[in-house]
Structure 1
Amino acid sequence: MSEQPNDDRTVYRVVLNDEEQYSIWWAARELPAGWREEGTTGTREECLARISEIWTDLRPLSLRRRMAEAVTA
């Protein structure tokens, strides 16, 4: 997405993919393939703040699983 002006009134939603990587997407647009809603909608800033709260481990899910399996093996 391109930079939006500070007076942006667009409603966004928090989305994530199968690797549990988060992003924001326009609420009025259909989600792209491979992405699903997280449940949060709001301003760009609100959605980015939510992502900052919940996306604390930036490693893709597949990597986290492989690392967990290596520990238990």
Structure 2
Amino acid sequence: MSNPFDDQGGAFVVLINDRGEHSLWPAAAGIPAGWSTAFEQNRRQACIEYINENWTDMRPRTGAGIQPA
């Protein structure tokens, strides 16, 4: 079985968590707890471009109830 994260021709979404972190995610996979859709189903490259344009500060935001280490 091939890895759906590596499927160059597959459909993907962009997820975001409460810390502002983004994730490229296969559209057919379930969305994990704590994440929501930031960019709807599209081509892999379009999702990567969305991430590059919208996640410019790689430092995670401090979310409610999250204490820095």
Q: Tell me which interval the TM-score lies in, with the shorter structure as reference length.
A: 0.7 to 0.9
Higher helix share: 1
Larger Rg: 1
1:59 paired residue number: 59
Deviation of residue 27 (structure 1)? 1.0
When the two structures are superposed, what TM-score results if normalisation uses the length of structure 1? 0.69
Give 2:44's aligned amino acid.
Answer: R
Percent sequence identity is 33
CA distance in 2 between counterparts of 1:25 and 1:61 reads: 21
Please identify runs of 4+ aligned residues in structure 1 that moved more than 2 A: 1-5
Residue-by-residue CA offset, 1:44-69 (whole Å, 9 max, x unaligned): 11101110000111111118xxxxxx
Contact persistence 1:40–1:50 (CA under 8 A): no
1:71 paired residue number: none
When the two structures are superposed, what TM-score results if normalisation uses the length of structure 2? 0.73
Contact persistence 2:5–2:26 (CA under 8 A): no
CA distance in 1 between counterparts of 2:59 and 2:19 reads: 9
The Cα RMSD (Å) is 2.2
User: Which of 6, 13, 16 pairs up with 1:4?
Assistant: 6
Unaligned runs of 5+ in 2: 64-69
Deviation of residue 41 (structure 1)? 2.3
Q: 1:32 to 1:3 in 2, by over 3 A?
A: closer
1:33 paired residue number: 33
